[in-house]
Amino acid sequence: MTGSPASEAAFLARDAVDCLPEGALARKLAEGRPLRVKLGLDPTAPDVHLGHTVVLRKLLEFQDRGHVVVLIIGDYTARVGDPSGRSSTRPQLSGEQIDANAQTYVDQAAKVLDASRIELRHNSEWLDMRMVDLFALTRTTTVAQLLERDDFSKRYAAREPISILELLYPLMQAYDSVAVRADVELGGTDQKFNLLLGRDVQRAYGVDEQVALTMPILTGLDGERKMSKSLGNHVGVSEPAQEIYGKVLSLPDAAMAGWYGLLLGEPAPQGPSARDAKHALARRLVERFHSPEAAGEAAAHFDRVFVQHELPAEIEDAEFDGSAATVHMPALIADGFGRTRSEARRLLGQGAVKLDGKALSGADLDVAAERLDGAVLQVGKRGFRRLRRAG
């Protein structure tokens, strides 16, 4: 700790929305021991995105001051799906999907945190509990308490279904805090109810209550809604440098101040044009998650493709079956770009697919194979493949 408990608490909470209860963080710091600072991540998708890094950067500040970051991979809570902000029940993921996603999370979180100073836990360690222990957990909370949650209360009032499993989710997250004896738990503002419930459940188990510290939520590339992979408005920290750079440049000007503040911890520059400020933001983010060299190459790629309207310097090959006279374009796009066939048809209908610079239409579902061999297929603004006839 570099200052008094009060000044240190003020620094750590300076850009938080909530630090509750008031004065609790300073009292914890006054104990003169490393605090156990908890963050839970449910691996419901394979990508850690920029929205997650807002909380990860705050965890890094705690790490840098000698505190213990407890990163919980929610391999059990992911089987439920956090209902925060949801208007319907989440689709259930398979255990295989969750395990595969979880494998990528630590590596991606380490792009922000010091991996050597993370206490990594999986909540399957304690949530795979006996029925008698589950009964004890459910006795800590009433249904009335859970229905105070904004999302639950709205769904209940609208007579929309709420599963018993979803009602258990906040209790499961709270029990994580009991199991790891968290002093502080971090989350977005949509996690406020869960974090405060964690205090109630800790108290019921005779564990010192945690501080609830919530961070602002980063808007997505649409500039309006919370960044989310399910909404398609996210930027993944493990995406290619050129993809990150191009996506950031698509951000609406009005959202830039929030991105500068939450991702870089500084105000957006006032002097340069919005375009220049956006390029600077894109470069900084690519440098953080890749390297300065990758940022320079991504900037050059963007200029070449979108300003000078030239082809990228390097284009990945994609093979197609050359034995047939025609090639079904939705299948080719799905295989070559990781899209679904229905999405490929939609992009064709929108004129978002080009062959050697000329837009294809929704009627171009089947194209002559001889026309494709050696041609450059472009999907969207940033996807390019050089087509090669197989065999």
Give residue-wise pLDDT tens across range 40-86: 988 877 778 999 999 999 999 999 999 999 999 988 888 775 555 54
pLDDT at 2 over 80: no
- More confident of the two residues 308 and 386: 386
- Assess whether pLDDT exceeds 70 at residue 91: no
Listed in order, strand segments (DSSP E) in 272-345 are: 316-321, 326-328
What pLDDT is stored for residue 82 in this prediction?
57
Query: Looking at the predicted structure, is the pLDDT value of residue 90 above 70?
Result: no
Mean pLDDT along residues 279-290:
95
Separation of CA 377 from chain center: 29
Phi, psi at 38, each rounded to 5°: -105, 140
pLDDT at residue 208, rounded to an integer: 97
> Residue 213 — pLDDT band, cuts 50, 70, 90?
very high
Longest dimension (CA), the chain: 76
Q: According to the model, what pLDDT value does residue 104 have?
A: 81
Residue that wins the pLDDT comparison between 63 and 344: 63
pLDDT greater than 80 at residue 310: no
Using CB atoms within 10 A of its CB, is residue 205 exposed (0-12), middle (13-18) or buried (19+)?
Answer: middle
- Per-residue tokens: 143: 């249904």
The mean pLDDT of the chain is 89
Higher pLDDT, 84 or 216: 216
pLDDT band at 355 (very low <50, low <70, confident <90, very high): confident
**pTM tops 0.85, yes or no:** no
Per-residue exposure over 166-190, b if at least 16 CB sit within 10 Å of its own CB, e if not? bbbbbbbbbbbbbbbebbbbbbbeb
